[in-house]
Every structure is written in structure tokens, then in C-alpha cells.
Amino acid sequence: MSENSLTQIGQISVNAADIERAVAFYRDTLGMKFLFQASQMAFFDCGGIRLMLSLPEKPEFNHPGSVIYYKVENIKKVYEVFLERGVAFISESHVVASMGRVDIWMAFFRDSEGNTLALTSEVSK
């Protein structure tokens, strides 16, 4: 790969309307590692990729973000734990694709700011 190619994600930004509420959801409900907060931004570590929660800087940036898929080992267990923590799931965990020796499972939910997120897991048959 050329040094002028995109090869790694360093940070993902997720819009928030209320930073304190969003920090509590990602830190306390989802259990993500909180790094720091600066002004109207908060940062979390997600396996070496930084997740930034922020108020939209300009009106044209105030829109739903892309779906972030969080890879988990045991989707059924994480789904149940998150339900107990009050996570608003859009769908139950379910198989979306059968890939021979593994099934791909997903469960979609919303964060405290209305963004769609998902759990995903490869489950051996």
C-alpha cells in the first residue's frame, strides 16, 4: 500500500445532543473505556480506535451517523446484560447470515442520543 492510501481508522465521531447523558450511556451502560472529556467532546477507547462523542459543530453536521457494529464474543449474553441495563433494542439477537462453519448474529439498538448501533458475533455451529 502506498503511504497515500487509507489503511486504518483512527477515530469515529458520533453526534450527541447531551454530552453528559451520552458519556453516561457509553461508559456506564455499554461499559466502554472512557479516556477524557474536552469541552463538548468526550473520547472512549474501542480496541485502539478512538470513539468521539460530540455536539455537532455546525447545523449541516447534525445528522444520524453510520451504524457502528461492536464485535462481541457471546452476543446472547451481552444482549441480556444490556437489556438489564436498559438498552433500547430495535431487534433481538438473530442470525443474519450462515457462513458454513459459523453463523453471523446481530442485534440492533439505539444509544441515548438516538443513534443506531449494533452488536455482532460470529457463532460456531
Lowest mean pLDDT among 5-9, 28-32, 34-38, 110-114: 5-9
CA distances from 7 to 4, 35, 38, 112 (A): 9, 24, 28, 31
Contact 70/81 with Cβ under 8 angstroms?
no
Q: Cα separation of 70 and 116, whole Å?
A: 12
Contact 88/29 with Cβ under 8 angstroms?
no
**Model confidence, pTM:** 0.83
Contact 57/16 with Cβ under 8 angstroms?
no
Q: Which three cell numbers stand for residue 61?
A: 453536521
What tens digit of pLDDT does each residue of 44-83 get? 999 999 999 999 888 888 887 889 999 999 999 999 999 9
119: pLDDT strictly greater than 90: yes
Domains of the chain, start order:
11-124 (3.10.180.10)
Q: Cα separation of 103 and 78, whole Å?
A: 17
**pLDDT computed for residue 7 by the predictor:** 77
Report the candidate in 73, 111, 113, 112 with the shortest Cα–Cα distance to residue 93. 73
Residue found by looking up cell 461508559 in the block:
27
Position with higher pLDDT, 3 vs 89: 89
Q: Cα separation of 1 and 113, whole Å?
A: 37
